[in-house]
Each structure stands twice: as C-alpha cells, then as structure tokens.
Structure 1
Amino acid sequence: MMSDISKDEALKNASNIVTLLSHQEPGPSFSEEARVKALEAAHGIIHALEKPEDGLIKFAYSPAIWMAIRVCVQLNVFNIIEQNETISAAEIAKTANADETLIRRLLRVLTAAGYVAEKGDGLYGPTHWTMHISSRLAQGMIKFMYAANWLQQTGYQNPADPQHGMFQAANQTDLPTFQWLTVPKNQEIWDNANTFFEGDRGSRPSWLSWFPAKEKLFPEGHQQETWLLVDVAGGRGHDLLEFLAKYPDEPGPFVLQDQAPVLDSALSLPPKVQKQPFDLFKDPPVQGARIYFMKFILHDYNDGECLQILQNVKASMIKGYSYLVINDFVLPDTKCGLLQSQWDLMMMVLLSSMERTETQWRTLLESAGLSIEGMYSPPGDGQGIIVATL
C-alpha cells in the first residue's frame, strides 16, 4: 500500500525536476532518461498534493475525457481545428453539422485537459496533442476502442430531454433518471446515489468556510419571523448538519424537504430540524423562510424544469426578507477547470442536463423573475454561491 508523501518529499521531487531538466545538453528536447525521471518526480508531486477524495472523483469522472475525444474524432473536430490557427465554436459546429452548445461542452473538457488550445470565449486552436489526435494511427485506436453511437443517432444535438437521454438508452427506459432510481427494484442503486450525494463535494471546502453567511443572510439583530433555513431537496440533511455545526447557537427552526423515502434514511438530525416530504416540481417549499438553500439541485435539470422549480420557490419567498442561496458550479466562460468541465459531461450523460456558466445562470434566474444579489467564487475549483431575491 502506497504511503502518503510528505511535504519534504514533494519539495524534493520538485527540486529533482529542476535539476534533471536544467542539466541537459543543449538541444531541442530532453534525453529520454531525464524526461522519464522528471515525469516520475512530477507524479510524486501530484500524489503529495492531491487529496484522496479528489483523486477518487477524478478517476470516476475521467471517462468524460474519452467521451469528449471520441465524439470530437467522430465529428472530425481535431482535423478542423488543426487546419486553423483560430476557429470559433460556431464555425466548428457548422462544418461538423453539430449543435454549437454541444461543441462548446466537449471542447470545454478538452481545453481544460490541454488537448485543444483555448484562444478566447468560444475560440480554439491546435496544440501538439491536437496534431497527434488528428493522425491516422491515433484515430484508428480511438475509433476501435471507444464507440460513440448515441450522439450520432440524435444528430449531435445537445441533450435536453430527460426522458430520452443516454441514461435512458443504456437502461432501456423512458423514465427520467431520478424516477428510474426510485423504482423498488433499483433501491440499492438509489441508496448508493444518496450516499454519494453526502460526499460529492470531495475535499473542496464547504461554502460555510469561505462565504460570510451570517453577515450577509442573517446578521446580528435580524428579525427572525419564521424558518431560518429550508434545505430544498436536501437529501439526508448533510448540508443542513454542516450549517448547524457552523452556527450551533442559532435556534432555527430549520426544515429538511425531500422525497419521503430519502427523508426516512436521514437518521441523525437534531430536534430543531423538521423533516417534511415534498415534490420538487409540484409543491412549493414551506412559506416565508429566511433562506432557501439548494445545493447541486438545478444542475440536475434543463432550463424548462429549472423554471418550474424556481417558480415554486418564488411562491414561498417574502419580498425584502427571503433569500435563495444556490450552491453549484458557476463555470467561467473561458479557462474552465477540468473537474467542472468533466462534471458537466457527466450531467449530460446521466440527466440530459448541464453545469451552467455565469451567463447561463444570469439568463435562467432573470427569466424566473429573480434578482441576483451576487455570485461568489470559492477558493480552488469548488462550487460557487449565488444569492438571489425576489
């Protein structure tokens, strides 16, 4: 079993890389021996810096890279980019006869991974990886080992139908993913999903560790008229428990709302938390709360479904008093990180949904009649915070 690498060993590996590469004879490239040793040292640094929670998520989401490569090979995207110093997503989509949003989502992963260069918002150029993947031998391997038929059958449109997506094709169902998961025969899978939701943040910091929640949302002396916080579709209450641990002196009351079977598995909630079953699409949350908190909820649904959910939340909010707090990825329009871009493709596969850019979030929330108080970025590559009001 590999032991943890210490800070000193990480620094030693970094020093070894500098030494190996700086003592090479003049020439266009490094010797093979120096290159391999430097690469081993670089892997040592990664092992020292990467936390196990993040490393496991990285492996779990790594198929998104191959998915992006395979579809782009099938659409001849690498060859199109190779022939242009700079080319737009719109031009690529037109040449490849594919949806522009789909092209942007695929290339968001490939630019984050370094396989394509990002030249601006929706602008791309080749790297040495692009040139290699364009080669006949590389494409032969990719096409032989990885099939990519579903998007081809749908004309390379951006998936948005929750009843007819990749997940439905794989499981031979027309039920939306969450409905399929709650079918009794799939109980074990649904239980595993809810357990994953408890830890899906990995080691990335909780919003409560960097966002001044009390100062902004319920400062000293505020008039507590009703519920302090409602965790909307909050699963087993893991985020609500974090909130209570951060602010143990807040009397509440607090509400956890989700489907009844999920709430039944939430066993460790204190008395000041009420569990209330509800349907995200049919029922408004409890009326008049100070904070309506939604973590990783809206990224599960397309814009039409999100508008329906937001209308339900709006119906419960009090103007000038209530806040909607969304804890979700806010993708940058350029220079998106690899994890967020991979997560976006997994949402495409599992739910025919997406992670949204700041521009897309603004469009969605303003369409729902909500005013954005602010969008706040976390340290590192975690989920951001969006605060909205009526």
Structure 2
Amino acid sequence: MDDIVSQIRALAGEADTAGRVRVQDALRQVLSQLESPQDTLVQLLNAHLRIAAVRLGIGSGLFKSLSQSQHPLQVAQLAAQLCINPQMLARIVRYLASNGLIDEVGVGEFKANKSTHIFSDRKAEAFVYHAFDVCGPAVQVFPDFLDETGYADITSNTKTPFQKAFNTDLACFAWLSRHPKLLEEAQQVMKAFQSGDWAVGFDLFEKEAIRAPKHLERVFLVDVGGGHGHQCVEIRNKFPNLNGQLVLQDLPEVLNGLPDIPGVKIEAHDFFQEQTVKGARFYYLRRILHDWPDTLCIKILQNLRSAMADDSQILIDEVVLPDTKVPWQSTMADLMMMVTLGGKERSQEQWRCIAEQSGLLVEHIHKYHGSATFNSVVVLVAKGAFERRSSCA
C-alpha cells in the first residue's frame, strides 16, 4: 500500500495541470468505490460541518496562530492565545486534525499543515466567509425554493433562493452593497481569481497589444466591471506601451476609496447603462456574465454593441462548458450562480445564442489554462461589421 501511495504522489508531482486533474478524478472514483453506503451518508453530514469548522478556525484565529508558530502548540497554549475554553478548543482541533486541516503530532499537540497555511491567507479567508455567510444560507433553502416554485427554471436575479434565505426583494449585489463587510469579502473572492493567463498565447490580443502605438488617443481596452483593476495592472505591466490606454469601470461603491492606478483611467459606470467609452479596441468582461440571467446579459452586451467601432471586439473571459462530462467544479459553479444570482455557466451554443440576440457574433474562442479546464475567452464582433469585413475579403 505504501508503494502505491508513493507512486501516486510521484505521478502527481510530475504531472501538469491536466494530469493532476486526471489523478484527482481517478482517486475520487476509487474512493467512491471503497465507501460503504454508511460512509457515503456520513460524508454528506460531515460536508455540512466541515465548512463551519473551517470558518471557526479562521474566525477564532486558530489557523493563523498555528501557521505563525515555528513549533507545535499544546491545546492549553492555543486556548490562552485565543481566549477560548480549553475543553471546547480540544474538541474543535481534534475534529480539524481528523479532517486533515491541521496536524496532530502528540497528545493534545498540534501544528500547521498545507491546509492550515491556505486558510491563513486573506483571500482564502474571504472565500470561506463568502461561501458560508452568503452562499451557505441560499444553498440551505435551495430545495424548499424549488419545491415552492414547482422546479421552474430560475431566470430572474430577484427570484432566487438568495431572496428567500435573506428575506429580501433585492438582487444579491444590491443587497451586498448595503452590507459593506460582506461586499468586501465578495470583492476579495473576485481578486483571488484574477490572473493574466488569459492573454498568454492569445495571438489576436497579444499582437494588437504589442503593436499599439504609444500615446494613442483611442482607448485600447475597457475592463468592464473590473473591480479593483487587477486585470488592467496585469495588462499594463505586460504591455507597457498601453500606459494611458486602459480604462477600469465598475460601480461607485466598488471604486470608492480605490487609489489611483498609474496608467489606468478609473471611471464609475453601471454596465446596464449606455457605455460611455466609444470605439475602444477591446471591451473586456472577466467572470461578469455568469453572474446574470440571459435577459440581463443581453442588455449588458447591447450597451457594448452600441459603443463599438467596426474593428472593436468584446472579450468574454469565462468558462465555456463542454457538451458532456462537465467537471464537478463547473457544475458546482453553475448551480451556485443560479442559487445566489440567477446566473449560469454557459456552453458554446449558449454563448452563441446570447451573442446573436445582442446583435453580435462569436468570431473565435480562445481556450487557456491547459486542456483539462474550460477557461476561455469568447471573442464577439458586431454583426454588421463582420458582414462588411466578409464582403471585402
């Protein structure tokens, strides 16, 4: 058995992203086959408790204390540091250790492991708080909501399990804007998923970015709903000649207090209103449209369509679901978007459908992050402009 485990670890250590995903999938299948019916049921109950215990570990400062210590700590030491009853703490750390979230190294003695360090990171903390405090209550009422609505499709962002969970008529983002702490956690979650990987190997974009002349008056890229501007910073750093040709847009409450970003114009804007930047080369939306039902996605895209020049393109940085064998991460995200926001993850055909209803066409889909994932940039062009270019070709 030890030899088999060693082989699996070696295989996982040498694998690329796609290989690691295959190893994880295989191990999950083996584990499922090994479980008894009782094991399966108990695991379901444990899943409910596990995230609550993680939130306790974060909120109490337990994970941070263990991560910052150079040596294992006794329960009594931890209890004194955290001002927690030792008997209560002993039961909590015993549970966390049994679930692999901290390491037990002796009787009543614990130390940090990889998971402990992960949960000590600010972005991971925000993710757990958002998952537990915002998504958790909506998931809890999900079955009752569907039963009450006759399992009708969720097509509105104000008629979802979220409204039932929080007894509100407000859409999720509007509700969050009234709860600044929870809004900040949501912003931190969005930051955690920011990356410039989408531009790597994306010839259409890279060639345009490299050859764009300095001091061009035309805006090169508008980051629509771009939060705190991490994508603009990534692009500016990768392509210094674009300094001054990047625009960050988001709602006033998101941009409030945001410091200046050198080389980036910051503009408060609601993407449900007319787009104020006309004729930009690219309009970029990262993980925006999966937050919204189709009707509102079409409204967002129509506002961009009205602002486009003939050579403008819209870049939608999202998952493009395969037609079969969708990975669990994507199906989870799809249901979570539906439960909290009325949104969804979309297939290629679904992207084409909302594009056409917005006066746009899918010109190209750039897949990135390796063959095992479905992160993509969907490139949209205006219908009329595409037809004019085609007739001239």
Match of 1:112 in 2: none
Find out whether 1:342 has 2:332 as its counterpart: yes
For the 8 Å contact 1:231–1:292, the answer to whether it is kept is: yes
Q: Which amino acid aligns with 1:251?
A: N
Letter aligned with residue 162 of structure 2: F
Task: Confirm or deny: 8 A CA contact 2:224 2:249 kept in the other structure.
Answer: yes
Equivalent of 1:289 in 272, 280, 286: 280
Within a 5 Å distance, the mapping from 1:212-231 to structure 2 comes to 212-218=203-209, 220=211, 224=216, 226-231=218-223
Distance 1:56 1:287, change over 3 A: same
Q: Does the aligned pair in 2 maintain the 1:207–1:385 contact within 8 Å?
A: yes
Distance 2:352 2:12 in 1: 44
1:194 aligns with 2:160: no
Task: Provide the rounded CA distance (Å) in 2 between the counterparts of 1:382 and 1:333.
Answer: 11
One-letter code of the match for 2:248?
L
Residues 124-146 of structure 1 show CA distances to partners (whole Å, capped at 9, x for unaligned) of xxxxxxxxxxxxxxxxxxxxx99
State the match for 1:169 in structure 2.
164
Quote the Cα distance in structure 2 between the aligned partners of 1:332 and 1:190.
Answer: 32
Shift of 1:152: 1.0
Q: Contact between 2:196 and 2:235, CA under 8 Å: does it hold in 1?
A: no
Once the two structures are TM-superposed, the CA of residue 182 in structure 1 deviates from its matched residue by 0.8
Aligned partner of 1:368 among 358, 372, 391: 358
The runs of 5 or more residues in structure 2 that have no matched partner are 1-5, 14-32, 37-99, 101-112, 383-393
* Equivalent residue, structure 2, for 1:307: 298
- The counterpart of 1:259, out of the listed 251, 275, 279, is 251
User: For the structure 1 residues 213 and 247, does the alpha-carbon distance in structure 2 shift closer, same or farther, using more than 3 Å as the test?
Assistant: farther
**Pair 1:332 & 2:331 matched:** no
What is the distance in 2 between the residues matched to 1:233 and 1:285?
A: 13
Richer in helix (by share): 2
Question: What RMSD in Å do the two structures reach over aligned CA positions?
Answer: 3.7
Please list the CA deviations of residues 13-49 of structure 1 after superposition, one character each: whole Å capped at 9, or x if unmatched: 99xxxxxxxxxxxxxx99x9xxxxxxxxxx9xxx99x
Taking structure 1 as the reference length, what is the TM-score of the superposition? 0.61
**CA 216–331 in structure 1, closer or farther in 2 if over 3 Å, else same:** farther
Shift of 1:215: 4.0
Q: Aligned in 2, Cα 1:374/1:216: closer, same or farther, shift over 3 Å?
A: farther
Q: Normalising by structure 2, what TM-score?
A: 0.60
Distance 2:191 2:202 in 1: 20
1:15-26 to structure 2, matched below 5 A, reads none
Query: Structure 1 residue 383: deviation in Å?
Result: 2.1
Return the alpha-carbon distance in structure 2 between the equivalents of residues 333 and 376 of structure 1: 17
Native 8 Å contact 1:58 1:339 kept in 2 = no
Q: Which amino acid aligns with 2:343?
A: S
The verdict on how the C-alpha distance between 1:311 and 1:198 changes in structure 2, with shifts beyond 3 A counting, is: same
Q: State the identity %.
A: 31
Question: Which stretch of structure 1 is more off in the superposition, 277-286 or 220-229?
Answer: 220-229
Q: Which residue of 1 aligns with 2:367?
A: 377
Of 135, 150, 156, which aligns to 2:151? 156
Secondary structure of the structure 2 residue equivalent to 1:329: strand
Give, in whole Å, the separation in 2 of the partners of 1:55 and 1:214: 31
Deviation at 1:57, TM superposition (A): 11
Give the distance between the partners of 1:214 and 1:288, measured in 2 at CA: 16
Taking structure 1 as reference, are residues 375 and 9 closer, same or farther at Cα in structure 2, changes over 3 Å only? closer
Structure scoring higher RCO (CA < 8 A, sep ≥ 6) equals 1
Cα distance in 2 for partners of 1:244, 1:211 equals 16
